[in-house]
Structure 1
């Protein structure tokens, strides 16, 4: 009986050793890694290459700009940071307007392409430095260009990332798009105008759910105007702004949703006629 027990323990020990060897094998490690990180080596290499290409272009622009006190210039993360930045950049933006706008646009598009938080502060800065009309044109141009870059980047490597981060939301979005194929531009306008879905998610998910680029582009270009106008206009009065949350109070959100529902009116009317 003791011999049988020893054999049983020996078999269990061998089985555990084999399982440990399997877990330590390169194949097992690769499977675990793929379970945690969604990109393959080639997709990761493509993403890094695109990031380095954009980064090189951005740094090249900044290195050729006139000298400034760079120690005082940083990406703002709060309204107080933004006030300090505006004070330091006011005269510089006036003295080197064309070069400053090039640097501003490059930074905004870079942040929007790679989903770096803080573009709302860049929009406020545009209003503070350039006024409502020029600031609005700059913000809408940069937001559309950055969203378009993000769209094509997602087309290249986005599917595994968005399936990894937001699988449920992606399935919901795909179902909604499938139901609204005939009036897709109206629905995309509604999403852009209202805060129903985050813009980052829309940029990433649109090529995955087969939204044509021309629909994505025009919905972004037109749909971002109302919210951009609110943000740029608020930039004129940075002294009165305590927090970014103050930008979108109940009244502002109600206006945005009203504009959004107006953009959906053709779709709603068509459905009503169909049921009649």
Structure 2
């Protein structure tokens, strides 16, 4: 096999996963499929989904996990709506466990795409700030990963991509993701389960509005009903606590 042909195969393996990811995201965006991941869609289809879960619980859990893996791998920004929906429809503990597993699987897919498509080039040409970031992640990968996972300030998608680019070992990425997303996942799932009466009332009102033949039937459920300031503060404090070992290490290294 000639060297140019080998290079073409190597380039295809490197960039094809990223190209497919971008293509799928573009298709879902331009077709409007992403709108299914919204609070409005949850309320509008709540009655049918609730009945389906009651009749086919195991099948519903598997479908939920499959959707979550795809949503995370495709970097949908509203994946948290799925967590809330899971808590509402499946119960907080079933949804919590299913979400942790599915989200970690989806994150791992994105991690590998970033590592193979972008990571090799950036690691070979790392200089200045990028090199310092890489060194920091190499020395304290566990603590930094837990901090990024526990703190809700950082976009979930970004935390899936950056470690792959900076060369974080997959084993550390996997278990810190599995552990680090657990508190927030259960918190969102629990918040979702607590919305049962509100969503049911909204769904009944929406269905009554549609049955009356009205063309403009709105949904009044807002993000603020789900994500409260207290919840974000609690998760933020948990994330900051994960930095304590790094701070202690730096203080001990500081000359008197």
Same fold? TM cut 0.5: yes
Give the alignment of 1:221-232 within 5 angstroms: 221-232=178-189
Cα gap change, 1:41/1:131 in structure 2, threshold over 3 Å: closer, same or farther? same
CA distance in 2: counterparts of 1:201 and 1:174, whole angstroms: 18
Structure 1 CA distance for aligned equivalents of residues 238 and 185 of structure 2? 14
Distance 1:213 1:246 in 2: 36
> Which residue of structure 2 lines up, in the alignment, with residue 131 of structure 1?
91
Instruction: Describe the SS at the equivalent of 2:75.
Output: coil
Asked if 1 retains the 8 angstrom alpha-carbon contact of 2:87 and 2:190, the reply is yes
Aligned to 2:141: 184
Please provide the CA RMSD for this pair.
3.3
Shift of 1:140: 0.9
Pair 1:128–1:215, CA change in 2 (3 A): same
Q: Relative to 1, partners in 2 of residues 1:178 and 1:197: Cα closer, same or farther, differing over 3 Å?
A: farther
**In the alignment, is the contact (CA less than 8 A) between 2:68 and 2:79 conserved in 1?**
yes
- Residue 197 (structure 1) shift: 2.5
Q: Deviations over 1:113-152 (max 9, x none)?
A: 1213331111111101111111110111111111011111
Deviation of 1:171 after TM superposition, in Å, equals 7.7
Find the residue that maps to 1:207 and give its secondary structure: helix
Cross-structure match for 1:252? 231
Distance 1:158 1:106, change over 3 A: farther
Aligned twin of 1:242? 221
Secondary structure (helix, strand or coil) at the match of 2:165 reads coil
Q: Which moved more, 1:229-238 or 1:139-148?
A: 229-238
Residue of structure 2 in register with 1:233 after alignment: 190
Contact 1:86/1:125 (CA < 8 Å) preserved in 2?
no
Contact 1:76 1:121 in 2 (8 A): no
Q: Which has the higher contact order (CA 8 A, sep 6+)?
A: 2
Q: Displacement, 1:259?
A: 0.8
Unaligned runs of 5+ in 1: 1-39, 54-72, 163-169
Tell me the TM-score normalised to structure 2 length.
Answer: 0.70
CA distance in 2, matches of 1:201, 1:96: 35
Q: What TM-score does the superposition give when structure 1 sets the normalisation length?
A: 0.66
Q: How many residue pairs were aligned?
A: 212
